[in-house]
Amino acid sequence: MNWNRSLDLLQVHCQGEIGKVIMAGAPEIPGATMLDKMNHINTVDDSLRRFVTFEPRANVAMSVNLLVEPTRADADAGFIVLQADRAHPMSGSNCICVVTALLESGRMPMSEPETVVRLDTPAGLIVARATCRDGRCLSVSLDNVPSFAEALDSEVETPKWGRIKVDVAFGGVYYALVDFDQLGLDIAPANARLLAEAGIELKSLLPGQISVAHPVLTGVNEIAYVMFRGREADGAIRTCTTLQPGRVDRSPCGTGSSANLATLYARGEVSVGDRRMSRSIIGGEFLAEAIGETEVGGRRAVLPRITGRAYVYGREPLRMSDDDPFAAGFALSDTWGPQVVGLLG
């Protein structure tokens, strides 16, 4: 068997959310910046994304991270998040997976007790600090990009739930943040399918009622995810981010936690130095900290730090063949949900 054309992936998960990392074999992506490269994938050639994120090589509950050489001198590596709907500029859980993969594979040298990794992403430079011992990453703290609230308590008309209030915030991508009690659903594993379908339905209603455009990042002009949230008795924020075509994030969601931190900051509920725990639908936890403040395009912004842990659990080679009848991948509604219709168009 000819394996000259193959991809080498590390299998990694962060608090249960799979974020595989392409370590070798990927084609060169054109673009002078990481944002250019992401936009090339989304608007010119998305064949690699489809190959690694759809069946028969993938499943609905996962992402794949494309490692690329950095385009800026102050970065050690670059990566782009590939998901079923498109390439995205940033993801906290995937970033933690990438840092863990780089260090535990030996791709980058590991220093104990701490290794600093600077990552070039389409959203900007991410500085990660990995706590390391005995060749393992015990935790990774990400200094995320400036996060800001775009709108608070925006009203959205829905056929199913009536008029609901939505916060819109940027935490590396744009989020619509919705208090789950407005839908009459608890964030619990038994409600995962109902939450996924509700999130995708809400996302489909947003373009006609709310518009976004990042003041600096060209092409970042859509609400990527709907995140349901609620406060726990111990002060933690219970999170449930919903993703295309209809699933929920298994992790507490790093960029979503950053976006939520931005809404708390905008309301005066969080100040620099404050911390909030984010807890996922299955109980995984990220620590979100406000480590500074800045401004983005005239908007007050908070500088978030997200801390969590990822685990390398295997290695996976993917053979690329010209006669593969499913090189573009496929998805079926039996496992991907009814929203899969149109995703492959």
- What is the model's pLDDT at position 188? 97
Provide the token pair at 326.
Answer: 């499913």
Closest-CA residue to 195 (of 91, 284, 280, 88): 280
Residues 156 and 241 grouped into a single domain: yes
- What is the model's pLDDT at position 2? 67
CATH of the domain at 61: 3.10.310.10
- What is the model's pLDDT at position 16? 97
Residues 297 and 314 grouped into a single domain: no
Residues 273 and 183 grouped into a single domain: yes
In the chain, count H helices and then E strands: 6, 18
SS3 content of the chain, % helix, strand, coil (to 5): 20, 40, 40
Residues 284 and 152 grouped into a single domain: yes
- The answer to whether 174 touches 203, Cβ cutoff 8 Å, is no
The phi, psi pair for 155, rounded to 5°, reads -95, 130
Domain of 324 in residue numbering reads as 4-142+309-341
Residues 190 and 269 grouped into a single domain: yes
How much is the CA Rg of the chain, to the nearest whole Å?
Answer: 19
Provide the token pair at 257.
Answer: 């936690």
Cα distances from 279 to residues 235, 236, 314, in angstroms, run 10, 7, 26
Q: Is 154 a catalytic residue?
A: no
Residues 231 and 260 grouped into a single domain: yes
- What is the model's pLDDT at position 3? 66
Largest CA distance in the chain: 61
**Which helix (H) or strand (E) segment is 27 a member of?**
none
As to burial, measured by CB atoms within 10 angstroms (0-12 exposed, 13-18 middle, 19+ buried), residue 76 is: middle
Our measurement of the distance from residue 338's CA atom to the centroid of its chain's CA atoms, rounded to an integer in Å, reads 22
Closest-CA residue to 102 (of 122, 120, 124): 120
Residues 156 and 287 grouped into a single domain: yes
Tracing tokens 């999170």 back to the chain, one arrives at: 239
Residues 58 and 33 grouped into a single domain: yes
- What is the model's pLDDT at position 44? 98
DSSP state of 221: -
Residues 42 and 133 grouped into a single domain: yes
Residues 65 and 104 grouped into a single domain: yes
Q: Is 132 a catalytic residue?
A: no
Sign of CA dihedral 339, 286, 124, 226: positive
Residues 214 and 161 grouped into a single domain: yes
- What is the model's pLDDT at position 1? 56
Residues of the chain with pLDDT under 70: 1-3, 342, 345
Catalytic-role residue among 63, 91, 258, 280? 91
Residues 138 and 150 grouped into a single domain: no
Tracing tokens 């308590």 back to the chain, one arrives at: 153
- The answer to whether 132 touches 148, Cβ cutoff 8 Å, is no
**Number of folded domains in the chain?**
2
Tracing tokens 């500074």 back to the chain, one arrives at: 292
CB under 8 Å to 191, separation ≥6 — which residues?
A: 185
- Round to whole Å and give the CA distance between 177 and 73: 35
Provide the token pair at 343.
Answer: 């995703």
Sign of CA dihedral 257, 262, 267, 271: positive
pLDDT digits (tens, 9 = 90+) for 229-265: 999 999 999 999 999 998 999 999 999 999 999 999 9
Alpha helices by DSSP H, 184-297: 192-205, 254-266
- What is the model's pLDDT at position 4? 73
Catalytic-role residue among 253, 257, 258, 280? 253
